[in-house]
């Protein structure tokens, strides 16, 4: 019904290889983009901006970065939060050393620092695999957070050891504040949305191209990939670089476009796990999955928290919090049992059913 493909003929290879070979997909994406770009920002309250829209986008972007590495190239990483931290601290240092730098440019540049660090910690992946590699990235996680705590230069010798996003204007927002307390959520949302959209389009195309195919070959069987002439070193390290770049940008956005301040232990292992869970529950090796996962893990608890108050139930706040943990935890288990390959696969199956409906074969 919704997905009738009858009448959509492909007459060229180009058409057949298009990003959205089925017209309904393109329409759906267009609707979502219109919602994100032109509808949500105008109906959202300050609360919705700060607890749903902006964080979901930033977490999705971080999960997207991790997915490039873990989902596409098959290299398990537990150090995502530390690489986010590298992005955030690099951005902070750049903006305090060079105050004339545009913050959006600084955020995009800060990704290169985390890409460098990512490649460095990716070198062991040439020799070790699987859980052993996970331990190597875990080392990155502990080492980098330790560094953020001990290297006082990173936080400009601030007495409390925290970094704060200064008030800075950007040409990209027409000269209004984009970071710091004076920035409006509206502006910050558009900046985050812009960068997230840009990086998502880039990643979609990367994963469809030569590089993406090399990564997938590496993931599926690395020595077979080597036998057909793929340079494993280049493939793995490029995955680490691209992944860490995206994660680093997400980290800079995390601090400058959302939180406004950060202390080192913000980038500790719980954040890494949250992002890994988003990627796994959303679906490894999928782009859409990151968004679905972030909606489930970041967005749903916030919405659930408002439900008892909206219904007028007089529940204690701590009780709601416990209930919330149980419901979200239950849902995660439910989704993983129903579809171990994640929400993106669930959506893929539903879509397939809709395409053949009403005559399933």
Residues that bind another protein (CB under 8 A): 2, 28, 31-32, 35, 40, 43-48, 50-52, 55, 149, 159-162, 164, 166-167, 180-182, 259-261, 263, 265-266, 268, 288, 291-292, 295, 299-300, 302-303, 305-307, 309-310, 316-318, 320-322, 343, 346-347, 350, 354
Q: Considering the complex, state which of residue 106 and residue 241 has its C-beta at the smaller distance from another protein.
A: 106
Q: What's the residue count for the chain? A: 361
Q: Considering the complex, state which of residue 74 and residue 289 has its C-beta at the smaller distance from another protein.
A: 289
Q: Considering the complex, state which of residue 21 and residue 181 has its C-beta at the smaller distance from another protein.
A: 181
Q: How far is the CB of 69 from another protein (least distance, A)?
A: 24
Q: Considering the complex, state which of residue 182 and residue 333 has its C-beta at the smaller distance from another protein.
A: 182
Q: How far is the CB of 321 from another protein (least distance, A)?
A: 4
Q: How far is the CB of 135 from another protein (least distance, A)?
A: 17
Q: How far is the CB of 127 from another protein (least distance, A)?
A: 28
Q: How far is the CB of 153 from another protein (least distance, A)?
A: 16
> Could you report how far apart the first and last alpha carbons of the chain are, in Å?
16
Q: Considering the complex, state which of residue 17 and residue 167 has its C-beta at the smaller distance from another protein.
A: 167
Cα–Cα distance measured from residue 33 to residue 31, given in angstroms and rounded to the nearest whole number: 5
Q: Considering the complex, state which of residue 74 and residue 293 has its C-beta at the smaller distance from another protein.
A: 293
Q: How far is the CB of 162 from another protein (least distance, A)?
A: 5
């Amino acid at each position: 019904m919704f997905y009738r493909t009858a009448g959509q003929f492909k007459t060229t290879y180009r058409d057949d290889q298009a990003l959205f070979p089925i017209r309904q997909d393109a329409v759906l994406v267009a609707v979502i983009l219109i919602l994100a770009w032109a509808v949500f920002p105008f109906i959202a309250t300050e609360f919705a901006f700060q607890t749903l829209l902006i964080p979901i986008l930033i977490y999705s972007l971080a999960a997207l970065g991790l997915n490039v590495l873990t989902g596409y190239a098959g290299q398990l990483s537990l150090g995502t939060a530390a690489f986010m931290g590298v992005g955030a601290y690099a951005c902070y240092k750049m903006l305090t050393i060079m105050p004339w730098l545009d913050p959006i440019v600084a955020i995009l540049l800060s990704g290169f620092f985390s890409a460098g660090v990512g490649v460095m910690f990716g070198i062991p992946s040439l020799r070790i695999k699987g859980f052993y590699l996970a331990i190597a990235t875990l080392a990155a996680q502990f080492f980098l957070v330790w560094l953020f705590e001990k290297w006082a230069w990173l936080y400009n010798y601030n007495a409390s050891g925290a970094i704060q996003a200064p008030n800075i204007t950007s040409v990209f927002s027409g000269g209004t504040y984009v970071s710091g307390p004076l920035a409006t959520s509206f502006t910050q949302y558009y900046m985050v949305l812009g960068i997230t959209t840009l990086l998502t389009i880039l990643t979609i195309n990367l994963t469809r191209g030569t590089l993406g195919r090399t990564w997938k070959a590496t993931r599926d069987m690395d020595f077979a990939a080597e036998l057909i002439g793929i340079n494993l070193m280049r493939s793995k390290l490029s995955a680490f670089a691209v992944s860490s770049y995206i994660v680093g940008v997400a980290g800079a956005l995390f601090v400058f476009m959302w939180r406004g301040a950060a202390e080192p232990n913000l980038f500790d292992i719980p954040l890494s796990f949250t992002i890994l869970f988003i990627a796994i529950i959303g679906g490894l090796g999928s782009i859409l999955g990151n968004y679905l996962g972030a909606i489930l893990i970041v967005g749903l608890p916030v919405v659930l928290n408002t439900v008892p108050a909206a219904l007028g139930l007089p529940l204690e706040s701590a009780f709601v919090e416990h209930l919330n943990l149980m419901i979200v935890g239950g849902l995660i288990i439910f989704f993983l049992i129903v579809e171990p390959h994640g929400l993106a696969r669930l959506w893929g199956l539903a879509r397939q059913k809709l395409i053949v409906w009403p005559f399933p074969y």
